[in-house]
Amino acid sequence: MKDTIKFVLDESRIPRYWYNIVADLPSPPPPVLHPGTMKPVGPGDLAPIFPMSLIAQEVTAEREVEIPGPVRDIYRQWRPTALFRARRLEQALETPARIYYKYEGVSPAGSHKPNTAVAQAYYNREAGVKRIATETGAGQWGSSLAFAGALFGIEVQVFMVRVSYDQKPYRRALMEAYGARCVPSPSTETQSGRAVLAKDARHPGSLGIAISEAVEVAASREDTKYALGSVLNHVLLHQTVIGQEALAQFDLAGDYPDVIVGCTGGGSNFAGIVFPFLGAQLRGGRKVRVVAIEPAACPSLTRGKYAYDFGDTAHLTPLAKMHTLGSTFTPPGFHAGGLRYHGMAPLVSHVKELGLIEAGAREQTKCFEAGVRFARAEGIVPAPEANHAVLGAIDEALRCREEGVSRAILFNLCGHGHFDMQAYIDYFAGKLTDQQYDEAELAMALAGLPSVRAA
Amino acid sequence: MKDTIKFVLDESRIPRYWYNIVADLPSPPPPVLHPGTMKPVGPGDLAPIFPMSLIAQEVTAEREVEIPGPVRDIYRQWRPTALFRARRLEQALETPARIYYKYEGVSPAGSHKPNTAVAQAYYNREAGVKRIATETGAGQWGSSLAFAGALFGIEVQVFMVRVSYDQKPYRRALMEAYGARCVPSPSTETQSGRAVLAKDARHPGSLGIAISEAVEVAASREDTKYALGSVLNHVLLHQTVIGQEALAQFDLAGDYPDVIVGCTGGGSNFAGIVFPFLGAQLRGGRKVRVVAIEPAACPSLTRGKYAYDFGDTAHLTPLAKMHTLGSTFTPPGFHAGGLRYHGMAPLVSHVKELGLIEAGAREQTKCFEAGVRFARAEGIVPAPEANHAVLGAIDEALRCREEGVSRAILFNLCGHGHFDMQAYIDYFAGKLTDQQYDEAELAMALAGLPSVRAA
C-alpha cells in the first residue's frame, strides 16, 4: 500500500540477545566504587540486593546476552512493537523530514519498562526470591514490575514518589490491579523515609529517596531483593530489544535514521533505542547523530557534573561515575515524574563523555505543546516523559524545513499518557508552569559530591 | 514457537469490505418508522442529521460494502488487531478450555470505536460537513470521534452523560487533547437538556438524553451533522472488520470458536465480532454458540420488550423495533457507562428474535472481580464494559472445567480501562455495589412504549 506508515516484524524477529554496548566502546566505563573503601565493588557487595545472574549482567563485557525463553515468551504478547512513519505529523509540520517513531506504549503497562521488568522478575524467581521492593516516579516502572510480579508469582512493594502518588491515583490503581502494594515515599516504613519526614513532614519525595527506602527493605530481609527500573547497566541492556528491532524495521523501510532523539531521566529508554545504532556505528556502520533531551528542571546531562556519586539520597548504594546534580538535590515536582532523577545512567554518561551523543534540555510547557500537536496528528497521547522526545523530534523536523533538507528522524515514543491526563488537564487549564530548581540548592548538592569532597 | 499466544495478520489482510449480515438473514429486520405517520422512514427523513452515503449504508441489503482507501489507510495504524490465546488465564482457571480474545484496545482511543468513528468522519468530510455533534457514555465513543475529527479537520462537540463526565475527567481530557469540545449532559445548550434540568437540576443524565441533545444541535444547523457510536446498522457494519479478521486468525490458529461471548450496550462491539461468524454459519458454515452479556442494571435483552421505541429520551429520533426498557427509563449510574442505554441495536435484537444468539445479565461487582482476575493473568486491565465479556468467557471456561470438556471460547476485549481506573479504585475500596434499577420506573417506561400505546 502507498505511503507505508507501519513497519511490523513477526514474532520470530523478537531479538534473541540483548546487546551490550560495552563490548564495542573504545574504553570501558569507570568501575562502580564502594563508598567506604573507594575500591571497585565486587559481586559479593551487591548480593544482598540483587540475584547473582543480574549482577553478572551488570559487569559483563560480552557483546550479546541471551534472552531466556520464558522472557521471550512474554515479550511475544506485545513485541516486536511497530515502527511508525509519522506521515500525518510531517504534513502538519510541513516538513520535508521523514519522522519515525518506535511505539512502546503497546505493552500491558503502557511503556518500555516491561522489557526489563519481565526479565528482572524472571531472574529473581529463578533465584527463589519471594518479594521485590522498588521505587517509582511517575509510576511507569512500578506498574511494570507489578505486572511482571503477577506473572511470576512474586510479591511487589512499590515506594512511589509522593508528588506522583498524589498526582496520579490511576497509576497507583493499576499497580493494585496487578496485585502490588504501593506506598507514598518518603514513608514511615523505613529508617530512610522517617529521617526525611522528620526534617520535612510534607516532603514531596524524589526518586533518590524512594530508592533508599526500597534498598533498605531489600537489604533487611532474606527473601526480598531490590529492582531498579533504569540507570544500571543490566537495565539498559534489557531495553536494547527496542533499538535492535528498529534496525530491522529501517531495513524494511529502506531507510536509515540521520538523527535519533530520546528523552532521558535515568537513561534506559534512551539507551534502549540508541545503543544498537551506536554499536553498528562503532563497528564501522553508518554514523548517526544522537540527541538526548532532558527536562530543564532536572538537567543532569547539561548542568550536572561528571563525577562519582551515590544513586540514592540516604547513601545506601555504591558510588557510580555519572552526570549528576548531586544525590541530595530534590528536583521540583514537575509532571514528567519518570525524569526526576539526580543522576544519569553511568553508561549513557560515559557515552556522552566519549562524544558519541549530544544533550539538550526543554521546559515542560513546550513539551506538552508538542505532545498535543503529536496527539492531534497521530492519535496517540504521549506520556509527559515521552513529550521531551516528541519536542526534540519536532525541533529537528522544523530545522529540516528551514534548511530545506529531508532527514530521517527517529524517536522513541516510550509510553502513552493515559495515566497522566491530570498533567494535560493542568496544561489545558493554563496551570502548568516551567518550574525552576533552586540554583543555591544545586550548587550545594554539587559541592557535596563524594568525589569532590575526596579531592 | 511453542504455545502460540498471538495471532497476527499483516496489513494486506485488513478487510477490504465491511460485512452486512442482512444479506444472509432468513428475514429482513423490521423497518424504521416515522413516529408521526407510523410509515417507514425514507432517506429524506434522515438527511438533516446524516450524510447521504451513511443513510445508504443504513438501508443497504448488499452483503459487502467497500471500505474506502482513506479509511483503510487510517485503519493500518492499529489494524489488523491481534487475536490472543489467553494461556495464562487458562492456567489460572485450571480449565481445559481454549480461551481466545480479540484485543481492540490498541487503537489510539483505546477501544473498537475508532473503527466506525474514522469511517463516519470520512463520509462526513466527503459530504462537506464542518461540525459533528454526538453523545458519549463512558467516553469511549466521544474520544474516538474526537480522534477521527482531528484527522479529517472536522469540529467535534460531545455531549457526555453527566455521571460519566464527573466519574471520568481523564476521558474528557483525552477528547480535549484531540481538540474536541465536551459538555456534560443534560446541558443548558439545548431545549432537550434544559427541559430535563427543569425537572431535576441534578439529573445524572443518560445516553438517551445526550442523544436528544446532539440530534437537536445537528438538526438546527446546516453545516452540522450527527454521529452515533452504536445501535444503527451502519455503525454495526463498520465494526465487522473485527470478526472478519478473527475468522482469518482462527484459520492461522487451526481452531474455530465453539462459543463467542460479547458485551452488549448498544450492540456494536458485539455485532462486530459476532456477525461475520454468524454469516458464515448462515451460509452453511460451522455453527457457533453466541452469548451476549449485558449489565443486570440495564438489561434490555433479558428484561426489555421487543417493540418499537424511540432511540432517545426527547423523542427526536424515528421509531426502531428493538429490545428496549423504554426510552424514558434512566439506568442507575453504574461504571460501565457505555452499556447504560435503554435499547439494543435493532439488528442485534432481530438476530436474537431469530434464535441465533443467547443473552445473559451480570452484576457489576462480579464483572470487576473477573476483570482483576484477567489483568493479573494477561496484564491488560479491561474497560468496565469489556469486563462483562471477560466474566461471560470465564463462566464458560469454568463450565468446561466442571464438564471436563475443552471448548474454544472467543470474546471481544473491546477496550482497555486506562481511563476508568476510578471504577477500579472504588472496587478495591469496597465502594462498588450492585445497583438496582427501579422496578416501578421500568414498568412505567415499558407501559409508555409508543407501540404499546398504539396497540
Task: Show me where the domains of chain B are located.
Answer: 4-14+67-110+234-447
Asked whether the beta carbons of B334 and B327 are under 8 A apart, the reply is no
pLDDT at position A453 is: 59
3-class DSSP state of B19: strand
Model confidence pLDDT, tens digit, residues A253-298: 999 999 999 999 999 999 999 999 999 999 999 999 999 999 999 9
Q: Do B425 and A10 touch (CB under 8 A)?
A: no
Is B170's CB within 8 Å of A422's CB? Answer: yes
pLDDT of residue A435: 84
Backbone angles phi, psi at A377, to 5 degrees: -95, -45
Residue A454 has pLDDT above 80, yes or no: no
- Chain B CB contacts of A423 under 8 Å are none
Residue whose C-alpha is closest to residue B108's, from B118, B96, B97, B94: B118
Average pLDDT over residues A301-314: 94
HSE (CB half, 13 Å, CA atoms) of B447?
6
Contact call for residues A89 and A378 (beta carbons, < 8 A): yes
Find the CB nearest A418 among B72, B73, B419.
Answer: B419
- Rounded to the nearest angstrom, the minimum Cα separation between A207 and chain B is 24
Q: Residue A3's pLDDT is what?
A: 78
Confidence at residue B139, expressed as pLDDT on a 0 to 100 scale: 93
Does the pLDDT value for residue B420 go beyond 60?
yes
Query: What residue of B is the nearest CA neighbor of A424?
Result: B173
pLDDT at B1: 42
Residue A106 Cα, gap to closest chain B Cα (Å): 7
Per-residue pLDDT, averaged over B218-236, amounts to 95
pLDDT band per the 50, 70, 90 thresholds, residue A339 = confident
Nearest-by-CA chain B residue for A106: B106
**Set of cell numbers at residue A164:** 506522583
From the list A3, A6, A147, the residue facing B77 with the nearest CB is A6
Q: Which of B5, B173, B372 is closest, CB to CB, to A424?
A: B173
- Chain B: nearest CA to A178, how far in angstroms? 5
Quote the minimal CA–CA distance from A295 to chain B in Å. Answer: 22
Please give the average per-residue pLDDT across B373-395, as a whole number. Answer: 97
Q: What is the pTM of this model?
A: 0.96
Nearest CA in chain A to B380: A108
For chain B, which residues lie within 8 Å of any Cβ of chain A, measuring from their own Cβ?
1, 3, 5-6, 8, 10-12, 72-73, 76-77, 84, 88, 106, 108-110, 147, 150-151, 169-170, 173-174, 176-179, 372, 375-381, 416, 418-419, 421-422, 424-425, 428
Q: What is the pLDDT of residue A218?
A: 95
What is the rounded end-to-end Cα distance, in angstroms, of chain B?
63
For residue A28, what pLDDT is reported?
94
Interchain proximity A169–B421, CB inside 8 Å: yes
Strands B83-85 and B6-7: antiparallel
Q: What is the pLDDT of residue A283?
A: 98
Residues of A in contact with B377 (CB under 8 A): 150
pLDDT number for residue B112: 98
Return mean pLDDT, chain B: 95
From its phi and psi, is residue B242 left (phi > 0), alpha (psi between -120 and 50) or beta? Answer: alpha
Candidates B6, B380, B418; nearest CB to A418: B418
At residue B329, the 3 state secondary structure works out as coil
Q: Do B376 and A177 touch (CB under 8 A)?
A: yes
CB contact under 8 A, B5 and A379: no
Res. A59: pLDDT tops 70: yes
pLDDT-based confidence at residue B31 (cuts at 50, 70, 90): very high
A256 φ/ψ angles, rounded to the nearest 5 degrees: -150, 140
Task: Kindly determine whether residue B8 and residue A10, on different chains, have CB atoms separated by under 8 Å.
Answer: yes
Chain B residue closest to A376 (CA)? B178
- The predicted structure's pLDDT at residue B138: 85
Q: Please tell me the predicted confidence (pLDDT) of residue A76.
A: 95
Q: Which of A15-29, A149-163, A267-281, B329-343 has the lowest mean pLDDT?
A: B329-343
- Check A6 against B425: CB less than 8 A apart: no
Q: How confident is the model at residue A4 (pLDDT cuts 50, 70, 90)?
A: confident
CB contact under 8 A, B177 and A372: yes
Could you say which of B73, B376, B425 has the minimum Cβ distance to residue A178? B376
Q: Pick from B108, B178, B375: which is nearest to A178 by CB?
A: B375
Q: Which of B169, B176, B379 sits opposite A147 (nearest CB)?
A: B379
Q: Say which CATH topology domain A4-14+67-110+234-447 has.
A: Rossmann fold (3.40.50)
Q: What is the pLDDT of residue B338?
A: 82
Tell me the shortest Cα–Cα distance from B26 to chain A, in angstroms: 38
Backbone angles phi, psi at B386, to 5 degrees: -65, -25
- Predicted confidence at residue B135, as pLDDT, reads 95
How far apart CA A130 and CA A124 sit, in angstroms, is: 8
Q: Which of these, B78, B449, B43, lies nearest to B234 by C-alpha position? A: B43
pLDDT of res. B455: 47
Residue B359 C-beta-side C-alpha neighbours within 13 Å? 26
Instruction: Count CA within 13 A, CB hemisphere, residue A157.
Output: 22
Look at residue B206 and tell me whether its pLDDT is greater than 90: no
Among A88, A379, A421, whose Cβ lies nearest the Cβ of B170? Answer: A421
Q: Do A73 and B425 touch (CB under 8 A)?
A: no
Indicate yes or no: CB of B1 within 8 angstroms of CB of A174.
no
Instruction: Please give the Cα distance from A138 to A383 (Å, whole number).
Output: 10
Nearest CA in chain A to B5: A77
Task: Fill in the amino acid letter for B325.
Answer: L
- How many residue pairs from chains A and B have C-beta atoms closer than 8 A? 124
* Interface residues from chain A to B (CB-CB < 8 Å): 1, 3, 5-6, 8, 10-12, 72-73, 76-77, 84, 88, 106, 108-110, 147, 150-151, 169-170, 173-174, 176-179, 372, 375-381, 416, 418-419, 421-422, 424-425, 428
Handedness of CA A224, A229, A230, A234 (dihedral sign): positive
- pLDDT, mean of residues A404-409: 98
Contact B145, B228 (CB under 8 A): no
Does residue A452 have a pLDDT over 70? no
- What is the rounded average pLDDT of the residues A374-386? 97
* CA–CA gap between residue A226 and residue A211 (Å, rounded): 9
| Nearest CA distance, B138 vs chain A (angstrom) | 15
| Angle of CA points A412, A417, A419, to nearest 5° | 140
Q: Calculate the CA B408 to chain-centre distance.
A: 24
**B265-321: pLDDT as tens digits:** 999 999 999 999 999 999 999 999 999 999 999 999 999 999 999 998 889 899 999
CB contact under 8 Å between A8 and B8, yes or no, is: yes
**Chain B hits for A422, Cβ within 8 Å:** 169-170, 173
pLDDT (tens digit per residue) in A124-168: 999 999 999 999 988 999 999 999 999 999 999 999 999 889 988
Residue A62 grid coordinates:
560480552
Q: Judge: A428–B147 Cβ closer than 8 Å, yes or no.
A: no
Tell me what pLDDT residue A233 has: 97
| Res A455: pLDDT | 47
A178 contacts in chain B (CB < 8 Å): 375-376, 379
Q: Which of A341, A303, A345, A289 shows the shortest CA–CA distance to A322? A: A345
Q: Which of A195, A117, A69 is nearest to B1 (CA)?
A: A69
Helix, strand, coil distribution of chain A in percent, nearest 5: 45, 20, 35
B99-124 confidence digits (pLDDT tens):
999 999 999 999 999 999 999 999 99
From the CA of A46, how many Å to the nearest CA of chain B? 31
